[in-house]
């Protein structure tokens, strides 16, 4: 599975988007229950726990796609007050 996801940037982007939308929906649902001062359903509690756990995998996948080398000096903007 890792080779499929890592070798396909469009799929990776789709998975990250779906994960972000799921977080938005879960978070909004939890806020709604809290605002209504209603008890939070057990299914929502479980879904939030699983969502948080899956975030670790997504974080490691995202980190593996970043380059730790510094940017070339020509792309770094430096502010000089005397200019």
Does 80 fall in a domain?
Answer: no
The tally of domains found in the chain comes to 1
Q: Would you give the distance in Å from CA 72 to the centre of its chain?
A: 27
Lowest mean pLDDT of 30-39, 40-49, 57-66, name the range.
57-66
What's the pLDDT score for residue 53?
A: 92
Domain that holds residue 24: 2-67
Apex CA 57: angle with CA 51 and CA 59, to 5°? Answer: 95
Contact 69, 83 (CB under 8 A): no
Q: Once rounded to an integer, what is the mean pLDDT over residues 49-64?
A: 84
pLDDT at 50 over 90: yes
Is 60 exceeded by the pLDDT of residue 83? no
Of the two residues 59 and 37, the one the predictor is more confident about is: 37
Per-residue tokens: 36:
């209504």
């Amino acid at each position: 599975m890792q080779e499929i996801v890592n070798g396909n940037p469009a799929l990776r982007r789709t998975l990250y988007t779906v994960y972000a939308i799921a977080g938005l929906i879960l978070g909004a649902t939890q806020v709604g229950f809290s605002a209504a001062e209603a008890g939070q359903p057990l299914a929502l509690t479980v879904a939030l726990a699983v969502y948080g756990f899956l975030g670790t995998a997504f974080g490691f996948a995202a980190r593996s796609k970043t380059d730790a080398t510094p940017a070339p000096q020509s792309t770094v903007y430096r502010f000089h007050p005397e200019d």
